[in-house]
Structure 1
Amino acid sequence: MFVKRTALRYVVVVISALAIGGATIYLLLRYISAGAVYFAVPSGTVDPLMVIIEMGLALFIIYMGVKFKNYLAIALAVVQAALVVYLETTYSGSLHVVNNLFIDQFSIIMALIIGIIGSLIAVYSVRYMETYHHHHPEVRDRQRTFFFVIFIFLAAMFGLVFSNNLMWVFFFWEITTITSFLLIGYAETEEATKNAFLALVMNLLGGIAFVAALIILAATEPLSGGIDLAGVLSSGDAAVILLPAALIGFAGITKAALMPFSSWLLGAMVAPTPVSALLHSSTMVKAGVYILVRFAPVFAGTLTGFSIGLVGALTFVLASAIAISQSNAKRVLAYSTIANLGLIAACAGVGTYMLVWAAILLIIFHAIAKALLFLGTGMIEHRIGSRDIEDMEGLIVRMPRMAVMMFIGMAGMFLAPFGMLISKWAAIEAFVQAPFGLIFIALLAYGSAVTVFFWAKWMGKLVAVTREQERVERGVLEEPWAPLYILTGLVVAATLLFPLISSVLIEPYVLAIYGATARMAQANVAIMLLMMALLLVLPISFMLFKRSAKHLPAYMGGRPATADRHFAGSLGLTREAQTRNYYLNDYFGEAKLFRPGLAVCTALIIISWILAGVAL
């Protein structure tokens, strides 16, 4: 926060990133086979300090709400603060958690995502933000605050995934809400401020539900005072904890930006690209699906869980369909994120052991590929001056390295044998054996089909060469390439090593929770590895593409055409041949699908609460 010079800031960020990444790898090596390990951290001074900070955050929200006349944010902050005060004053004497921190295989997976991918994004951000302010001189330079908030964000995520005390989970949960608010509003424009408050308001709703769940847990027999995560999940009385779980699930839905709360993540696209990458890959929305997957054993076999799963499945289908109509690259990535988070939520809501296995795989592969795609889009935008997919035509000639990495990132999102498709395959197999599984299989099939459509047409634009074009990749600052190279390698490595990741980290966690686990057959693994070897031939062939290759004019049915694809049409008119993607706004536009999706998903959430309340 106190470093002014970019060169020195870069050194500080790189050292910090190496320290964070190294620490997460140490945790992996130290606790990889230890199972769940609990730490009795004294909370005598920590708990009051957290309450004071929470009240400070509430006052900050009230101040910002008054400043920008957002009275809804003020009201929600007051309600949440009042509930926290009520919880502390009424039940503070009975709240007891011995082991406030813990670590298990799932939290290690999340820590690796936060520590490695989050740190790579931070390193990328140093040079990116320098270029960002060059392109946006009207934006006040607040880079010191920007990087301070990013590292607070990462710290809060670590606290969230390692906390066994649900009061501590809530504390870190709220810090992620505030940090995302600050990052989304970085540009301080009217649009940025509006969208930052939209994210704040929607996540405050989730925060209120979270506190309400804590109050119910503190007051309900036989759990009175027991608000530790492990104790709640192992209580054995699903009826008692179903309503609190539904409320925490609602908080997860808001944080993960599922319908009907997707608009805050779409609005967050006004922030600098590294913020988008951070929100989508290693923080914020991952906190939402993390808490849903944690509570999956509670949701399993309940109508409440079915309702939450259906919200996720519908979000997957609708967001994937809407992505077809988008030409703005960041909005395509945003809808893709919303869709895949919906699929993870569907797995968590139904909650069988096979679906939890698939959900964790989805979290891993989505985090890596989406970070690569967002950072790549940011670099492309700075070089060609546009984030429109139509303007990325011929990128294989103009920015060949970047095109290859984007191609690998997109392949990682939907092509065999990359991780996302493996995870969907596993989810389909798991839904076959789940209650009401055919409904989810149908929704997953439709959603996956439209996913192929919007990714394939973007891929096509990258490799389509319709005219002579100059290479613009030269001159790009060298430092931002390193995170992109590493992420590209991670996309491939995670797929090649996924059997190891599954057997070492995912299967032991699922086995400990459910007493059973899932794994892919060895024959399927062998087929997958063979497909990977064949698929890698494609990007390698792009890298061997020579600039001296001949560029031939398009064949226009015998009519002569110029180099820029103009030809003599009928009636002596000169026309231009164009290649454009289909966007099908009349069928898949936001106006057609977004509002109906909001209505249906809102109804399902309300139904889940009613069903949980009846069970209680």
Structure 2
Amino acid sequence: MVIPFLICFPMIVAVLMFLIRVNKVRNAIAYASAVIIMIGVAVLTAQWLKGGMQPMVLAAGENSLIELADHVILAAEIVLMFVVTFLCFKYRKYWISLLSIVPTLMIAYFELFGPEIAPEAKIRIDHLAILMCIIIGLIGGLIVIYAVGYMHGYAHHHVEFEDRRYYFFMLLFIFLGAMFGFVTSDSLLWIDFFWEVTSVCSFMLIGYTREPVAITNSFRALWMNLLGGTLLAIGIIYFGYQTGTVSFQKLIGLGAGQAKYAVIPVAFMAFAALTKAAQLPFSPWLMGAMVAPTPSSALLHSATMVKAGIYVLIRLAPAMCGQQIGMMVSVIGGFTFFLASIMAIAQTDAKKVLAFSTISNLGLMVACTGVGRPETIWAATFLMIFHAVSKSLMFQDVGATENAMHTRDIEEFHGLLYRLPRLAIFQFIGIAGMFLAPFGMLISKWSALKASVDERNIILVMFIIFGSATTSFYWTKWMGKLIAATNQPKIRDITKKNENISLTIHAILMLGLCVLFPVLSQVFVDPMIAEQFGSYKDVLPMAVLYILIAVILVVFAVPFIAFRTTRKTPTNIKLSYMNGINTGDNTQFTDSFGEEKKLTLTNYYFAHKIGQRKLMIPSQLFTTAVIIVMLVMIIGGVA
């Protein structure tokens, strides 16, 4: 009963969020509901552990709710089609409605008039499903708690927008319920429905402000995700007609056995995952999503929704290993990792840096799944875990910093450690978790590189090497800004208590993951890989992992001790020469013409050389050509 509860409870709360217009009452319900969801995930995990960590399967007929769900899901999918069609016609985006109408009618026809499908598993709980549920429940619940305070400040500072918090929180809870349904479903028909729900939630949240730019970006996200959903539906229907089953596990098993009628469904599902994971050429939808309020950026577009694509690819990995499908996925992922990290260098807006780095790291995860070896799936899994926590922390922190400073320009973060110490420390932890040795993200990249070398995949090796180098470049610039000395005054930290609670827990989780990395690998991730592939060899010896823990402690201890011992040390600041007469504060001077000028220290961002405008379109053209050619080859090989 826990899984139906986790799917249905957020949906019920979403209705309450929409109906209740008294902010204090709605906020209290949001807090309580977030905690209940986290408790529900804990209960589910406990039940699974009690069952010996073995897969738990629930089929139609074993639970009345499950038996009824097929009819409810079909009806809801049709309603969703009407909602999307209405909004497309309202904003004169007529053609986009076809990407909802066509696949929905195809699925409806298949369910009502297609081949008879034997009763089979609808829900499957295993290591990967539990991991995703923990990410969704814990990170999602914390983001909801954070969002209560953040959206109060957002409504106060952005009076030009209608206060629609009831609408915002409704969509957050619908999304959480849909994600629980997505990661626990074994029925491909259920997966298709929950896939569409997450796409529509993302679309509506991006357009929250209803500004022209928000509307444009929201429809871009909608059509790109619906395009993937259309191929997903076609693949499901093809598989159903060929085999008389719509079981995800059976599809993976047949794909791993290289059955011909599994090739097209696997290829189309992989394509859909590339759109959801915002890989090139579909990356612009995630960039446009940054116009949405920060909590939705943290929840949907960094921590959870884009992980739906990674989740599908990890599931499909055994079926893609050594196949043309895997080659397509690894090339697109590796190229995206490299190009997105280059474009991130040219960004000064903190949210855009986070967006490009998200696309980049998703690219590395995608590349790992395309290779499909146990070592690369190990790396992809840890990349997903660390990225979910780190990016959720970073997005929330940037949102809180923006509220305090009224800017999210990284150049304005100069000396943030001394001006907003708490938020700067949280940013430091988030950045360290993303790239600093020997944190989990770096270990995962090393594992991916080693597996690529073993596979003699030279192209992917080059992408990982240069992508990692450029990643270090932009994170180092950001980190340097945080810790730079400054004589600018402190800023009043207006971060609310609930926001600080979420940020603190995220930071503790980040540190805990680093310290417990070997234990998590041995107890959870290694058995997960063995469950998928039948056997698994350790990527890193346990002795090496424990040495890395000691290094991690030193990494944090040294700057902390240095900060504590030197912050009260007397300083003797000398005046700097600035091509003129120093006015006495080392920030302004009078030039030779008698004009007062301000000294500005800034990083160079190469915007005209490697910016989004310069590289995005060529990158999209290249990756589009690769996908089209590879899909033609895959389909032609089956024919």
- TM-score normalized by the length of structure 2: 0.92
1:570 Cα offset (Å)? 5.1
Letter in 1 for 2:367: A
The aligned residue for residue 388 of structure 1 is 409
Deviations 1:278-328 (A, max 9, x none): 123432201111111111111100122111110000000000000000000
**Equivalent-residue separation in structure 1 for 2:214 and 2:632 (angstroms):** 36
Counterpart in the other structure of 1:437:
457
Shift of 1:571: 6.3
> Contact conserved, 1:260 with 1:598, CA < 8 A, in 2?
yes
Distance 2:143 2:318 in 1: 33
Question: 2: CA distance between counterparts of 1:527 and 1:64?
Answer: 56
Corresponding residue to 1:72 among 95, 103, 110 = 95
Could you list the per-position Cα deviations for residues 370-400 of structure 1 after superposition, in whole angstroms to 9, with x for gaps in the alignment? 0000000000000000011111112112100
Q: Distance in 2 between matches of 1:499 and 1:590?
A: 38
1:47 aligns with 2:80: no
Which residue number corresponds to residue 18 of structure 1?
Answer: 35
1:257 maps to amino acid: A
Matches within 5 A, 1:16-415: 16-32=33-49, 33-42=52-61, 44-91=67-114, 93-220=115-242, 224-235=243-254, 236-415=257-436
Query: By how many angstroms is 1:420 displaced?
Result: 0.8
Task: Please say which of residues 45-54 and 119-128 is displaced more in the overlay.
Answer: 45-54
Distance 1:543 1:25, change over 3 A: farther
Q: Cα deviations across residues 69-102 of structure 1 (Å, max 9, x unaligned)?
A: 11121222222223223322442x4223411101
Distance in 1, Cα, partners of 2:551 & 2:289: 37
Counterpart of 2:35 in structure 1: which amino acid?
A: L
TM-score, structure 1 normalization: 0.95
**Aligned match of 2:499 in 471, 480, 483?**
480
- State how far apart, in whole Å, the 1-side matches of 2:530 and 2:116 are: 33
Single out whichever of 189-198 and 122-131 deviates more from structure 2.
189-198
1:602 to 617, 624, 631: 624
Tell me how far 1:190 sits from its aligned partner.
1.3
More contact order relative to length (CA 8 Å, sep ≥ 6): 1
Structure 1 stretch displaced more, 129-138 or 502-511 = 502-511
CA distance in structure 2 between the aligned counterparts of 1:237 and 1:330, rounded to whole angstroms: 42
2:531 & 2:488 partners in 1: Cα distance? 59
Specify whether residues 549 and 322 from structure 1 end up closer, same or farther in structure 2 by C-alpha distance, changes over 3 A only: farther
CA-CA distance at 1:512 after TM superposition? 1.7
**Cα offset for 1:9?**
2.9
Q: Which secondary structure does the structure 2 equivalent of 1:102 belong to?
A: strand
Post-superposition Cα deviations, 1:394-426, rounded to whole Å, max 9, x if no partner, equal: 211210011011001001100012111111011
Q: 2:231 touches 2:269 (CA, 8 Å); kept in 1?
A: yes
3-state secondary structure, aligned to 1:4:
coil
AA aligned opposite 1:142: R
- 1:280–1:287 CA distance, 2 compared to 1 (3 A): same
Could you tell me how far 1:606 is from its partner in structure 2?
A: 1.4
Q: Does 1:460 align with 2:480?
A: yes
Q: Do the aligned partners of 1:468 and 1:551 also contact (CA within 8 Å) in 2?
A: no
Residue 540, structure 1, aligned to residue 560, structure 2:
yes
Please name the residue that 1:528 is paired with.
Answer: 548
Measured in 2, the distance between the counterparts of 1:471 and 1:180 equals: 34
Structure 1 residues 571 and 149: CA distance shift in structure 2, 3 A: closer
Equivalent positions of 1:558-597 (< 5 A) are 561=582, 562-569=584-591, 574-597=596-619
Letter in 2 for 1:469: P
Identical-residue share of aligned pairs (%): 38
**The 10-residue stretch of structure 1 (4-13 or 278-287) with the greater mean CA deviation from structure 2:** 4-13
Contact residue 289 and residue 301 of structure 2 kept, 8 A: no
Amino acid at match of 1:49: V
Cα drift, residue 569 of structure 1: 4.6
Residues 405 and 491 in structure 2, CA contact (< 8 A), matched pair in contact too: no
Is contact 2:303-2:387 (8 Å) kept?
Answer: no
Change (3 A) 1:547 1:272: farther
Which of 509, 514, 520 is matched with 1:490 structurally? 509
Q: CA deviation at 1:568?
A: 4.7
SS at match of 2:589: strand
Residue type at the aligned position of 2:85:
I
Q: Which secondary structure state, in structure 1, belongs to the residue aligned with residue 441 of structure 2?
A: helix
- Post-superposition offset of 1:125: 0.2
Q: Do the aligned partners of 1:97 and 1:165 also contact (CA within 8 Å) in 2?
A: no
Cα distance in 1, alignment partners of residues 197 and 333 from structure 2: 25
Contact 1:249 1:291 in 2 (8 A): yes
Deviation at 1:538, TM superposition (A): 4.7
Letter matched to residue 102 of structure 2: V
Q: What 5-or-longer segments of structure 1 have no aligned partner?
A: none
540-549 or 65-74, which deviates more: 540-549
**Shift of the alpha carbon at 1:11?**
2.5
Asked if the contact 1:97/1:227 (under 8 Å) is kept, the reply is no
Question: Greater CA deviation, 144-153 or 25-34?
Answer: 25-34
Taking the aligned partners of 2:407 and 2:185, their CA distance within structure 1 comes to 42
Mapped to 2, the partners of 1:501 and 1:261 lie a distance apart of 33
Q: Is the 8 A contact 1:105 1:505 kept in 2?
A: yes
Quickly say closer, same or farther: Cα 1:607–1:551, change in 2 above 3 A.
farther
The residue aligned with 1:421 is 442
C-alpha distance in 2 between matches for 1:381 and 1:508: 42
Q: Provide the rounded CA distance (Å) in 1 between the counterparts of 2:213 and 2:119.
A: 43
CA spacing shift, 1:558–1:245, aligned 2, 3 Å:
closer
Q: Deviations over 1:422-478 (max 9, x none)?
A: 1101111111222x42221111000000001111101111112333323322x4322
Separation in 1, partners of 2:304, 2:550: 33
Q: Which moved more, 1:246-255 or 1:570-579?
A: 570-579
Q: Deviations over 1:585-612 (max 9, x none)?
A: 2331112211111111111211231232
Instruction: State the 1:526 CA deviation.
Output: 2.5
Q: How many Å separate the matches in 1 of 2:148 and 2:562?
A: 29
**How many Å separate the matches in 2 of 1:13 and 1:173?**
24
Listed one character per residue, the Cα deviations across residues 236-285 of structure 1 (whole Å, up to 9, x for unaligned) are: 23433121111011110111111101111111111100010012343220
Decide whether the 8 Å contact of 1:61 with 1:77 is kept in 2: yes
Q: Give 1:139 deviation, angstroms.
A: 1.1
Residue 551 of structure 1: how far off its partner (Å): 7.4
**1:556 corresponds to 2:573:** no
- Give the C-alpha shift of residue 45 in structure 1: 2.9
**Alpha carbons of structure 1 residues 471 and 318: separation in structure 2 relative to 1, 3 Å:** same
Q: Indicate conservation of the 8 Å contact 1:260/1:602, yes or no.
A: yes
Work out the CA distance in 1 between the residues paired with 2:196 and 2:529: 28
